[in-house]
Amino acid sequence: MFGKRFVILALIFTLFVALGSTQAFATKGGKKATPAIASATSGLSLVLVDSTDGAAHWGQHITFNVNSNATYSFVRARCYQSGVWVYEQSQGFYVGWPLDQRNFTLMSYAWKSGAAECDALLYSTDADGSNFQSLATTSFHVDP
């Protein structure tokens, strides 16, 4: 029973981080978060986990090579079909990420099949989710 609760809490945390990833989080006391800045030491690149032809495909797995000196780094991947948002997933890329999971599965309830245009964002936050910092981005295509 404990394992199930832990997974649910980790998923809620991931959703919380993903929801705040498009804008800087407000900090306690109504202060504005530090403006997003790029770090010269940050980098993000796509890794195809189970591709047999060098391309990402619907239903396959990807991950990312991440270079960041931030304490809490995350990657958010989003995909669109004909401009319609069909996929979003975030994973922590730091020591102690509770799920020890960094693979992204390229499918969702809204994305049943087909090609998509995707982007990934490397970002960091403080431990409490405040101080959102956009660090790096990359785009990629997913074949059917």
Cβ-contact 39, 16 below 8 angstroms: no
H/E segment holding residue 15? helix 2-19
pLDDT the model gives residue 122: 97
Percent share of the chain, pLDDT over 70: 71
pLDDT exceeds cutoff 60 at 115: yes
pLDDT the model gives residue 101: 79
Give the residue extent of every domain in the chain: 2-22+34-143
Which superfamily is assigned to 2-22+34-143 in CATH?
Immunoglobulins (2.60.40.10)
Distance CA 71, CA 69 (A): 7
pLDDT exceeds cutoff 80 at 2: no
Would you list the DSSP string of 122-138?
EEE--TTS-S-EEEEEE
Instruction: Give the CA radius of gyration of the chain.
Output: 16
Question: How would you classify the pairing of strands 56-57 and 133-143?
Answer: parallel
Residues 59-69, mean pLDDT to the nearest whole number: 95
pLDDT the model gives residue 130: 92
The helix, strand and coil proportions of the chain, stated in percent and rounded to the nearest 5, come to 15, 40, 45
Distance CA 5, CA 140 (A): 34
Residues 74-92, mean pLDDT to the nearest whole number: 96
The beta-carbon contacts of 87-94 under 8 Å, at least 24 apart in sequence, are 87/111, 87/116, 87/118, 88/18, 89/14, 89/18, 90/14, 90/17, 90/18, 90/21, 91/14, 91/63, 92/14, 93/64, 93/66, 93/68, 93/122, 94/70
DSSP state of 71: S
pLDDT the model gives residue 26: 37
